[in-house]
Structure 1
Amino acid sequence: MKKRVLSGLLMMMDAAMINIAVVIAFYIRFDGAFSGRFAGQYIPIYTDNLLTFTLIKIALFYAFGMYQNLWKYASIEAVFQIMIAAFVANTGVVSYMVLTQQGHLPRSIYLLMFILDMLLVGGIRFSYRATRGLREHGFIRRKNCKRVMIVGAGTAGAVVIKELKIHDNLNYKPVAVIDDDESKLGSKINGVPVLGDRYHIKKVAEMKQVDEIIIAIPSGFRQELKEIVEECSKTKCKLKILPGIGELIDGKVSMKKARDVEIEDLLGRDAINIDLEEISEYLHNQVVLITGGGGSIGSELCRQIATFNPKKLLILDNYENNAYDIQNELRRKYPELNLEVLIASVRERDRIEEIFGQYLPEVIFHAAAHKHVPLMEANPQEAIKNNIFGTKNVAECADQFGAKRFVLISTDKAVNPTNIMGATKRVAEMLIQSIDLTSKTEFVAVRFGNVLGSNGSVIPLFKRQIAEGGPVTVTHPEVTRYFMTIPEAVQLVIQAGSMASGGEIFVLDMGEPVKIIDLARNLIRLSGMEPDVDMDIKVVGLRPGEKLYEELLMDEEGLESTKHDKIFVGKPFFTDLKFLERELDILSDLLLLRDQEEVKEYMVKIVPTYHRETS
């Protein structure tokens, strides 16, 4: 509707310009003597055909698309379009006069009409473009527009600047460009000056009163992006980052696709390479069971495994809401996927046996576990029931029903544990290592640290505390953890599963350890605030069972590299299944007594590396 109104308005303006052009042509041709003898004989010819002239030209302008174009983007191509349309329109008028034999106008009048049509009709269109250009270059200021700094003076940066200038509705004004290439310093990208490298970001942001920074380096390495984000975080500007270079190649770059910078961008790791062929060999056309399939790791396992076309994907979870969510997502994205959701607890041996007997899963990813350290310290019996006896049920059923491969999702907290959760996960590792000795099923564990954004992790907690106005709480200024994104961790888990020969504990390269207090500070900066100035950080003390530092490998395990540069393998060293079964029988009896201290004390006997004292 709006477009029709604008086209109608433009037609009326053109009608006026067409006739103004005739009047000016007469004025020029007859030196302003409209009432003279020569002018007097031609003016009636024009006035008699005024409406016809106008309709012919408007009709031909319309035929040449003069009312379909978006003239705010007028360019050199539009100039040629106007020239051709004006020439054809005036030729149409001359042809009409010849065919109808209504007399004739001087040839100079037709020539002047052609020239003036181009100037006046084209002028209307380019006046709007010129006004926009003045506004873009600061001669006409837009109200309440955000002043933007672009990091990256390459193709992506140029595209961003051009788009910001074209689209008024974005309400952005690019005022500065940052680039590490010294040869670009002092030059201009689409009219915006390059004012320094990444180490000038804070200074330029203050000098130019920047409100927002857009990082436009879609092909950059993660470490480079990390360093740039850290420099940007020293300002109080809101940060956005451009999508990948693939969208640039397809011409799909849009500021609407630019996202906020997330804490994951500060990890500084490049994309993980995985062997799709090797993974496909052990997942394609197989019945795959994922326990804890509705959780953070389990649901991501479901997403990634679904792409390898399993014969059947079984999602087992005790919590129906999470299972329901991932079920709906997978059915929407993969309508051909043979998917079934099973509500069950790994604690219930009969139910697990029933599931294995009915579906005969060939590959099992065991992600069902209680993982929250403080909660499990207060409820050790529940951690033992779920993490130890639940694992025992699933692993023994995998052996009993002839599964090909069993992958246990473990944790760095299983190494020299100082809490009951870590101790139970170590027992789970011991279980699958010992069962592997006599089983045809290949049992392996994959051990990694914290994953960003998982349920109950520190990042969502910090975000919630920041949203509530603080303070942000950390347990100790020296607490250090390994971090990885959920998709990264799951990619490596699936890859490690393809390498299994039985009994290994695969250890993922988690990158450099990160201080939790540094994560808190970075999150506060990404929220546009200054730590300890705009937002307090409060140290609340270590929680029961919490370590200052996490480890990924025990001394006895050794460490060997694999063909994947981010996956290492620790050799199995626990193989005494009879001892473990005897001790677990005693532990099962102790659970009935409901004595938390006695249960924890007995766990030390099973896991000699378990140190109950907080270190």
Structure 2
Amino acid sequence: MPVVDTLFWLLAAFVACRLHGDAFTSPAALTLLACAAVAGIVSLCLGYLWLLTYRRRYPAGSFEEATAVAAQFGVSALVMLVVAAGWAAATGTPLRTLTLSATFALALLAALTVRFAARLVTTYQASQYYQRVARDQAPIVVVGAGRVGEQIIHLTKFDAASPFTPVGLVDDDPAKRNLRILGVPVSGTVDDLIDVCTELSAATVVIAVADFPAERLKQVTTGCAEHGIRVMTIVPVRQLTNRALQISDIREIDLAEVLGRREIHTDVSQIAGYLSGRTVLVTGAGGSIGSELARQIHGFGPKELVMLDRDESALHSVQLDIYGKGLLDTRDMVLCDIRDRDALEAVFAEHRPEVVFHAAALKHLPMLEMYPEEGWKTNVLGSRNVIDLALRYDVQTLVNISTDKAADPTSVLGRTKLLAERMTTATALECGRRFVSVRFGNVLGSRGSMLWTFKRQIEEGGPITVTHPDVERFFMTIPEACQLVLQAGSFGRPGDTMVLDMGEPVKIVDVARRLVAQSGKDIPIEFTGLRPGEKLSEDLVGHSEHGERPFHPLVSHVRVQEEALQAVEELHAWAVGEDPLEGKAQTPPDDAAVRLSLPVPDSAEALR
């Protein structure tokens, strides 16, 4: 190519002279040929040393190569003009600028034509090879005809290892109507997506828009799920800053991305202020929420992070995840059940935590309906132990993790968690410390959650079981849940119960349909009927509660009603040393804990 470019300069000079009527042997023509030779040599040097066009830095015929060649030839033309002007001044001959310009234009045209022709040949050969070896690729429609969409088209069209073949694009930009990218047409707008997929027999859609609006994404995925179309996307663009897009970067869309969630922006400085250099205790640290909390807290540099759980395997997993080891030979990994007050007190006495995140709980609604005593022991008495010992050992901040089922509860789970909220509030009002609760909706991806269950059922070939076609729930991601917990410890007022604005509730059957569509399998959905204690819809705030948002636009603060704190059943039972569950004598708690007044049933059976 470098020799060819140099010959182009000489050939262009000859043609320019002939166009102006000069003979090849005339002094003017010979002068121009000499100047063109100088320009060719300069172009050769530039191509090797500066723009690197001869070192295969750019793909043949690409826009980048065309730009580099134009710059290279432009500088060479200026050199040719300077040499010609100097020769004209020395010999008194005319400069003949028009002939010089024609030489440059013809040389550049010839160089670019050869490169574009080479690209056409390469593209054609690649296309033919792809058609020979590619037989079983799934047809896809790409949403977005921008730069990312173009990369996906090129990647899937000319890579024989690709599981996809592009057949169409959709884009809302009117300027891209009738556009073709490597032969793949823009066949309509995003609103036409389902019709385009049907027309082109495509059962897979790839989202190629970096910041696709959440509501628009939800609309697309819902429509595709209803028609059995699989929706995929690419990894975040920030992960592609230092490398090219790869087939492995086309991934299944995260269900959390299609639920219309608005991310909460965490004030890291507030969190760091009360966690850095402090001793922090996380109960239930082996669970989905507790382990993520521990991971995030570790990043803020606490003096000591104490992780407590009754499941030794879960502790092993979280230690391995955070510290890269799983020896379980350090005192900060605590095997303990919050039901065991004596063992729990030994933990508080040894570590003297300043901040406590209480995530230990039993959470499966139908199990607790069958075994209410277990819910009572863990969610009520266990929480009482944590709160009481936090008060006794001078913990300054306690965050109790609750559930939206505590709002107007109809189940054992909801009632036990509401009691834990009321204990937290009563203690905070008594001592004036930052003891707060946080209510979650359904946490996507948590162990044993609906999403986890549905994916397992799909892997097993179905069916997916849904209790009722109209049942709906609020959703949030594990990172969002943990952000809310950490923020609650920074701006929660003593006694507050904080609730995240989780947008509109989502029908469970819609989630099931989306997962089935993503799997590409024909999985039936069966309705089994509402379980005891289960609601069609959950509430975030009870009818007798009032929420306000004094600090964050997406976080409501709810205060347990005062009359709920004035009930005396539990106060009486504790004061005389009786356990409301078993009626057995116990050592009475200290005076501060005794003064807690909570509305609790006389037995676990009354929780039903």
TM-score under structure 2 length normalisation: 0.74
For structure 2, list consecutive stretches of 5 or more residues without a partner in the other structure.
2-47, 73-109, 586-598
The Cα of 1:223 is off from its aligned counterpart by 1.6
Alpha-carbon contact 1:558-1:570 (below 8 Å) kept: yes
Q: How does 1:558-577 map to 2 (within 5 A)?
A: 558-573=546-561, 574-576=564-566
Deviations 1:393-418 (A, max 9, x none): 11111111111100000011112222
The change in CA–CA distance for 1:538 and 1:135 in structure 2 (over 3 A counts) is: farther
Contact 1:557 1:571 in 2 (8 A): yes
Question: Aligned match of 1:411 in 394, 400, 403?
Answer: 403
Cα distance in structure 2, aligned partners of 1:355 and 1:289: 9
Cα shift at 1:346: 0.6
Q: Does 1:458 align with 2:450?
A: yes
> Aligned equivalents of 1:317 and 1:135: distance in 2?
62
Aligned match of 1:431 in 423, 426, 429?
Answer: 423
Q: 3-state DSSP class of the match of 2:161?
A: helix
> Which moved further from structure 2: 229-238 or 406-415?
229-238
Quickly say closer, same or farther: Cα 1:359–1:189, change in 2 above 3 A: same
2:542 and 2:126 mapped to 1: Cα distance?
A: 62
Distance 1:591 1:544 in 2: 30
Q: 2:186 aligns with which of 194, 218, 223?
A: 194
* The one of 540, 559, 580 aligned to 1:587: 580
**Map of 1:549 onto structure 2:** 537
**Aligned match of 1:11:** none
The one-character-per-residue Cα deviations of 1:454-485 (angstroms, maximum 9, x if unpaired) are 12211122222222222221112222211111
Q: Map of 1:13-92 to 2, 5 A cutoff? A: none
**Percentage of pairs with the same residue:** 37
Q: Distance in 2 between matches of 1:136 and 1:229?
A: 33
Q: Deviations over 1:243-299 (max 9, x none)?
A: 223235555543322220232222112332121222221112211111001101111
Q: Distance in 1 between matches of 2:382 and 2:603?
A: 17
Q: Is the 8 A contact 1:202 1:234 kept in 2?
A: no
For 1:321, the aligned partner's letter is S
Match of 1:471 among 454, 457, 463: 463
CA RMSD of aligned residues (A): 3.9
Q: Does 1:316 align with 2:304?
A: no
Task: Tell me if structure 2 keeps the 8 A contact 1:398–1:441.
Answer: no
Give the CA deviation at 1:214. 1.2
2:233 matched residue in structure 1: 241
Q: Tell me, yes or no, if the aligned pair for 1:72 and 1:128 is still in contact at 8 Å.
A: no
Q: Equivalents in 2 of 1:507, 1:77: separation in Å?
A: 52
Is contact 2:383-2:420 (8 Å) kept?
yes
Cα shift readout 1:532-567 (whole Å, capped 9, x = no counterpart): xx3322111222222222222123321111321211
Structural mapping, 1:202-241, within 5 Å: 202-241=194-233
Number of the residue aligned with 1:100: none
Contact 1:450/1:484 (CA < 8 Å) preserved in 2? yes
Q: Structure 1 pair 77/271, CA: closer, same or farther in 2 (3 Å)?
A: closer
* 1:289 pairs with 2:281: yes
Farther off after superposition, 339-348 or 294-303: 339-348
| 2-structure distance, mates of 1:68, 1:381 | 76
Equivalent residue in structure 2 for 1:367, among 356, 359, 365: 359
Matched, 1:150 2:138: no
Which residue of structure 2 lines up, in the alignment, with residue 278 of structure 1? 270
Measure the CA separation in 2 of the matches of 1:321 and 1:297. 16
Deviates more, 1:536-545 or 1:292-301: 536-545
Mapping of 1:386-401 within 5 angstroms?
386-401=378-393
- 2:428–2:494 contact (8 Å) kept in structure 1: yes
Question: Using the alignment, how far apart are the partners of 1:375 and 1:455 within structure 2?
Answer: 15
Amino acid of the residue matched to residue 375 of structure 1?
A: M
Contact 1:290 1:367 in 2 (8 A): yes
Give the equivalent residue in structure 1 for 2:165: 173
Rounded Cα–Cα distance in structure 1 between residues aligned with 2:172 and 2:458: 33
Task: Identify which range, 448-457 or 233-242, moves more after superposition.
Answer: 233-242
SS in 2 for 1:141: helix
Residue type of the alignment partner of 1:396: D
**What is the 5 A alignment of 1:350-361?**
350-361=342-353
Q: Specify every segment of 5 or more residues in structure 1 that has no aligned partner in the other structure, as ranges.
A: 1-13, 15-61, 85-118, 593-601
Q: Secondary structure at the match of 2:140?
A: strand
How many residues of Structure 1 are paired with residues of Structure 2 in the alignment?
Answer: 506
Q: TM-score, normalised by structure 1?
A: 0.73
Structure 1: how far apart are the matches of 2:474 and 2:299?
28
User: What whole-Å deviation, never above 9, does each CA across 1:416-444 have from its counterpart, x for those lacking one?
Assistant: 22221211111111111112222253211
Looking at structure 2, the residues matched to 128 and 570 of structure 1 have their Cα atoms a distance apart, in angstroms, of 69
Query: Structure 2 CA distance, aligned partners of 1:480 and 1:535?
Result: 21
Q: Equivalent residue for 1:493?
A: 485
- Offset of 1:68 from its aligned partner? 8.5
Would the aligned equivalents of 1:247 and 1:253 in 2 still touch at CA under 8 Å?
Answer: no
Mapped contact 2:428–2:435 kept (Cα < 8 A): yes
- Contact 2:208-2:233 at 8 Å conserved across structures: yes
Aligned to 1:182: 174
